[in-house]
């Protein structure tokens, strides 16, 4: 990433100040979840300001206790805003093993509320103190019910909270080996950078086969290929690795495919790659965590999710072509809707992990209307209070599933036609030889 000019850095900090102030004054509603679901989990989206070389903080100045006094400091105005990510330790049976995530975990009975669960988990996993002496609790992002089996089985309520670190001299992070393999501070501006947008290729055949193994999963994987999700390749400015954490090379992501959709359609060549982070292991942010982060990024200018986002699809060329044709009108209507600023509607409150179906709880039922871990957030753009990404994905997966069905029908018809033609030729040759 190129070195920023002083003005662009100051503008980015000003935008962050306005966004955090808005979050502080506009909390998202509490999501109770269905009666049968008691498990709740919290994650912490932790923001820090990294001082510039020319503007060092005054070590004698007291720590700020509110947003206005914090952002009034000269070193903050010229600093770089960064978000803390973790890479989870490799654990067999863990749904999110080796994934890039935010610090967090399940709420314990001893936790006073969901926010305190996020504070405790951050302290346990990465050793960061989120008390009022070192940070400001800004507020929450949209809570969501995490489900599995295409929205039929609720797992837990996920509660994201935003914290702003007010100290520039925090001690080095202390990683919990069983939970965290590494930590990475990533500039917010790079998360918004179109050059860092890519896709993640994931095998979802096990979920399409209701998590079965054997021939059914193998057949689905062969017919559909992998699924392609929108993702961000992270470029950290500071990383810390835990040598005690177990590693699992089998969970490494494939190199990022070309961004150009036409090139990806013609061939699935992976020759073009974005610059890898330290240790030559790409850090790919996608799925459930990207959904949380997208809610936050959509609050910041330039609000260009329409240009940055890639609709999910499959890697098989015939299936992706039929999906593209089937969803064309839908995508165009969403584009016009976003360009007109008409994104009103209730915020999304449920997602499915892995496939990440987005839905709203309705009398403890879940209507499957999306995938990718992406919920509807709020935006400061105009009068819109809905996430652009959430608006784009709402209803998309119903269209996509129709495309998959049509593609498989076309395959079956094509195979039957070719088989019938070959059989007729064999019959004709048989008659010739019989004479």
Give the C-alpha separation, 137 to 142, whole Å: 15
Q: Residue 353: pLDDT above 60?
A: no
What confidence score (pLDDT) does residue 46 get? 98
Q: How high is the pLDDT of residue 256? A: 53
Tens digits of residue pLDDT in 203-240: 776 555 444 455 555 666 677 788 888 899 999 999 99
**What is the mean pLDDT of the segment spanning 186-209?**
82
How many Å separate Cα 308 from the centre of its chain?
A: 13
What pLDDT does 340 receive? Answer: 74
Q: Which residue has the higher pLDDT, 340 or 149?
A: 340
Please give the pLDDT value at position 183.
Answer: 96
How confident is residue 390, by pLDDT bands cut at 50, 70 and 90?
low
Is residue 13 over pLDDT 70? yes
Cβ neighbours, 10 Å, residue 364: 12
Please report which helix (H) or strand (E) contains residue 206, including its range: helix 205-208
The whole-number pLDDT of residue 180 equals 94
Q: Are 166 and 64 in contact (CB under 8 A)?
A: yes
Task: Find, among 382, 305, 306, 389, the residue nearest to 347 by Cα.
Answer: 389
| 136 vs 147, higher pLDDT | 136
Judged on CB neighbours under 10 Å (0-12, 13-18, 19+), 320 is: buried
Q: Contact 145/34 with Cβ under 8 angstroms?
A: yes
Q: Provide the pairing of β-strand 238-241 with 180-187.
A: antiparallel
Asked if the model's pLDDT at residue 371 lies above 50, the reply is no
| 297 domain residue, yes or no | yes
Q: How confident is the model at residue 20 (pLDDT cuts 50, 70, 90)?
A: very high
Percent with pLDDT over 90 in the chain: 35
In this structure, what DSSP letter does residue 279 have? G
Residue 278: pLDDT band with limits 50, 70, 90: very low
Model confidence at 250: pLDDT above 70? no
Are 30 and 145 in contact by the 8 Å Cβ rule? The answer is no
Specify the higher pLDDT residue, 191 or 358. 191
Is the separation of the CB atoms in 284 and 200 below 8 Å? yes
What pLDDT, on the 0 to 100 scale, is given for residue 305?
66
pLDDT in tens, 72-112: 999 999 999 999 999 998 877 666 677 899 999 999 999 99
**Among candidate residues 188, 163, 140, the one with its CA nearest the CA of residue 25:** 140
- Prediction pTM value: 0.78
CA distances from 302 to 168, 307, 375 (A): 28, 11, 19
Instruction: Note whether residue 263 is domain-resident.
Output: yes
- The residue that leads in pLDDT, 178 or 358, is 178
d(CA 199, CA 232): 7
Whether 254 has a pLDDT exceeding 70, the answer reads: no
285, 277 Cβ separation under 8 angstroms: no
Can you give the pLDDT at residue 187? Answer: 97
pLDDT of residue 280: 55
What radius of gyration do the chain's Cα atoms show? 24
Q: Is 1 domain-assigned?
A: no
Containing domain of residue 256, as a range?
Answer: 6-434
Write down the pLDDT at residue 130. Answer: 96
What's residue 58's pLDDT? 82
Indicate the range of 53-62, 114-123, 127-136, 143-152 predicted with least confidence. 143-152
Q: Give the number of domains in the chain.
A: 1
Q: pLDDT class for 188, splitting at 50, 70, 90?
A: very high
Say which range, 208-212, 310-314, 404-408, has the weakest mean pLDDT. Answer: 208-212
pLDDT of residue 421: 86
Residue 405 lies in a domain: yes
């Amino acid at each position: 990433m190129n070195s920023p000019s002083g003005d662009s850095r100051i503008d980015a900090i000003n935008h962050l100040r306005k966004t955090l102030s808005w979050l502080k004054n506009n909390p998202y509603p509490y999501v109770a979840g269905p009666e049968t679901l008691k498990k709740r989990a919290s994650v912490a989206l932790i923001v820090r300001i990294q001082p510039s070389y020319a503007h060092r903080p005054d070590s004698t100045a007291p720590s700020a206790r509110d947003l206005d006094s914090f952002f009034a400091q000269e070193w903050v105005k010229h600093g770089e805003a960064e978000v803390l990510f973790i890479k989870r330790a490799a654990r067999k049976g863990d749904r999110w093993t080796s994934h890039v995530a935010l610090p967090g975990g399940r709420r314990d009975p001893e936790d006073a509320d969901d926010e305190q669960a996020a504070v405790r988990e951050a302290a346990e996993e990465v050793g960061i103190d989120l008390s009022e002496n070192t940070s400001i609790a800004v507020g929450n992002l949209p809570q969501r019910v995490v489900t599995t089996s295409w929205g039929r089985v609720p797992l837990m309520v996920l509660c994201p909270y935003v914290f702003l670190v007010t100290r520039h001299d925090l001690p080095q992070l202390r990683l919990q080996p069983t939970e965290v393999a590494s930590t990475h501070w990533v500039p917010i501006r790079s998360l918004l950078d179109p050059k860092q947008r890519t896709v993640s290729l994931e095998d979802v055949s096990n979920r399409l086969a209701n998590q079965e193994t054997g021939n059914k999963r193998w057949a689905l994987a062969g017919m559909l290929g992998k699924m392609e999700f929108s993702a961000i390749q992270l470029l950290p400015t500071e990383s810390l690795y835990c040598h005690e954490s177990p590693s699992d090379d089998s969970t490494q992501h494939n190199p990022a495919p070309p961004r150009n959709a036409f090139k990806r359609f013609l061939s699935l060549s992976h020759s073009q790659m974005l610059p890898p982070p330290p240790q030559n292991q790409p850090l790919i942010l996608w799925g459930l965590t990207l959904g949380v982060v997208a809610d936050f990024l959509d609050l910041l200018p330039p609000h260009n999710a329409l240009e940055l986002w890639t609709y999910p699809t499959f890697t098989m060329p015939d299936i992706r072509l039929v999906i593209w044709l089937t969803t064309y009108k839908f995508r165009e209507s969403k584009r016009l809707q976003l360009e007109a600023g008409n994104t009103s509607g209730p915020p999304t409150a449920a997602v499915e992990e892995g496939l990440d179906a987005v839905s709203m709880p309705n009398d403890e039922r879940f209507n499957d209307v999306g995938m990718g871990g992406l919920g509807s957030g709020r935006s400061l753009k105009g009068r819109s209070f809905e996430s652009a990404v959430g608006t784009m994905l709402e209803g998309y997966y119903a269209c996509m599933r129709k495309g998959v069905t049509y593609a498989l029908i076309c395959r079956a018809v094509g195979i039957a036609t070719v088989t019938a033609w070959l059989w007729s030729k064999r019959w004709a040759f048989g008659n010739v030889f019989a004479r």
